[in-house]
Structure formats: C-alpha cells, structure tokens
C-alpha cells in the first residue's frame, strides 16, 4: 500500500509475510504485505489482537525479520544486515516508545535517556547537553535525577520519549504508547508525539487500540489477520 502523501518513503515493505512457529504449529501473522510510509508521516496501525500490528513495528525496527519479502527502512534493506549491523541500525535510525515505558528501574531519568548516546561517539559533556535538551523538550527538566519509581506513568512515558529522540532518529515506533495511561496523561503524550512529528519532522508509526489516539495520525491502517483491510487518510494539520 503506497504512501498517499507522495513523499520519499522512509519505510517500504514489499511482499512481507511473517509466520511464527509455536512448537510444531505455524501461525501466520502477516501475509504478502506491501506498505510505504513517507518521511515525516504519522501512521497509526489499528486492529484486533493478533492482527499483526506489533509484528509490523518489530519488522520495521529491525528486531524481527520477515519469513518472506523485503523490508527497507531509511534506504537500508534490513534483510542484508547481520545482528550487529541491525543493532547499529536501530541505534542510528529508530526510537522506541513502549506501552509499559520499559525504563531501566535502577537508572535515573537522566541515565535512562543517556543510554542511546552511549552508543555514539559523543563525550560526557556533549551527552549531558543532549539529555538535558530532550528532557526540556518533554517537559521534565527538573526530574532528571528521579528514578522511574519516583515518577508518574505519564512522566515515565515522557522519559521514554526523551530516550527515543535523544539520538535524533528519523523514525519513532510507538507500541500503544498511551495504553497504560489515564486520559489526561494520554492526551499529553499524544500532543508530544504530534509535536515531535510536526516540529522535528520525525516519522511516527504507532500501534494503538484507542481511536482518539489514532485521530492524531495522518493515516490510519486497519489490519485483520495479517492483512490490511482499510486505510483512512486524514488531513495533515
């Protein structure tokens, strides 16, 4: 399915199938999927559990590989990369936002955000500046020394978003980023994602069950049993 925005695709999936093997049983999750996501696009993926939404996120972020087909992200054919190269690809191009935040509980907000920068050549002073900058962007400048347990759910997710953007990746993948949040916090997080998309040009692929969250996207794809069944295009603000 082509990107209707017409921009240069940051994600291109061609004939992608994915089958999981549980013991001797093969479970097909995606079937012959074609999908383009344009640079700067905010895409929402919806559908029932097991429809393949999270699998698409895993494939485009290089933490899983397709059973068949090609996955090209930021001009890189992920099928050509080994595990080490995939790790380097993720560090450079992908920012992850998880439903349960996935912060390291024994590290402070600052240290959690700093983690991706440890994979770069930045020195300690440069890393500190970057971390403080992104904590400022997500509105947590004064919480840098707090541990995750000392933060609210919304604050934890903002730390996770700061961690996702600190190394300036071109693509953010968000797996139900508001799933564990109350309505007010969810709205804040969606506002933040929208801002990152608009002001910082980040491409966003978000899996969600929440129609209000999906409303923030430029395009909403509905999946069922591994097949795209509907695409809803929204006007860019």
Residues found near other proteins in the complex (CB under 8 A): 58, 61, 63-64, 83-84, 87-92, 94, 96, 98, 100, 102, 104-107, 111, 115-116, 118-119, 163
Residue (88 or 132) nearer to other proteins, CB: 88
Residue (24 or 199) nearer to other proteins, CB: 24
Q: Measured between alpha carbons, how far is 148 from 111 in angstroms, rounded to an integer?
A: 11
Residue (122 or 232) nearer to other proteins, CB: 122
Residue (87 or 227) nearer to other proteins, CB: 87
3-state secondary structure the chain: CCCCCCCCEEEEEEEEEEEEEECCEEEEEEEEEEEEEECCCEEEEECCCCCCHHHHHHHHCCCCCCCEEEEEECCEEHHHCCHHHHHHHHHHHEEEECCCCCCCCCCCHHHHHHHHHHHCCCCHHHHHHHHHHHHHHCCCHHHCCCCHHHCCHHHHHHHHHHHHHCCCCCEEEEECCCCCCCHHHHHHHHHHHHHHHHHHCCEEEEECCCHHHHCCCCEEEEEECCEEEEEEECCCC
Q: Measured between alpha carbons, how far is 162 from 160 in angstroms, rounded to an integer?
A: 5
Residue (27 or 119) nearer to other proteins, CB: 119
Shortest Cβ distance from residue 18 to other proteins (Å)? 10
Residue (118 or 229) nearer to other proteins, CB: 118
Shortest Cβ distance from residue 27 to other proteins (Å)? 13
Shortest Cβ distance from residue 119 to other proteins (Å)? 5
Shortest Cβ distance from residue 79 to other proteins (Å)? 16
Shortest Cβ distance from residue 16 to other proteins (Å)? 15
Shortest Cβ distance from residue 7 to other proteins (Å)? 26
């Amino acid at each position: 399915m082509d990107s209707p925005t017409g921009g240069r695709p940051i994600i291109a999936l061609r004939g992608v199938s994915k089958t999981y093997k549980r013991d001797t049983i093969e479970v097909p999750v995606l079937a012959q999927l074609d999908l383009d996501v344009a640079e700067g696009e905010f895409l929402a993926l919806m559908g029932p559990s097991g429809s393949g939404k999270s699998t698409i996120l895993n494939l485009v972020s290089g933490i899983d590989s397709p059973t068949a087909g090609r996955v090209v992200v930021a001009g890189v054919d992920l099928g050509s990369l080994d595990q080490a190269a995939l790790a380097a690809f993720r560090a450079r191009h992908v920012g992850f936002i998880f439903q349960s935040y996935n912060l390291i509980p024994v590290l402070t907000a600052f240290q959690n955000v700093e983690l991706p920068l440890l994979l770069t050549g930045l020195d300690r002073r440069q890393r500190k500046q970057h971390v403080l900058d992104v904590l400022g962007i997500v509105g947590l400048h004064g919480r840098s020394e707090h541990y995750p347990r000392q933060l609210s759910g919304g604050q934890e997710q903002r730390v996770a978003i700061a961690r996702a953007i600190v190394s300036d990746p071109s693509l953010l993948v968000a797996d139900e980023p508001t799933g564990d949040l109350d309505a007010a916090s969810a709205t804040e997080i969606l506002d933040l994602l929208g801002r990152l998309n608009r002001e910082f040009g980040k491409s966003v692929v978000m899996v969600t069950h929440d129609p209000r969250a999906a409303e923030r996207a430029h395009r909403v794809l509905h999946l069922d049993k591994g097949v795209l069944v509907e695409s809803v295009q929204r006007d860019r603000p």
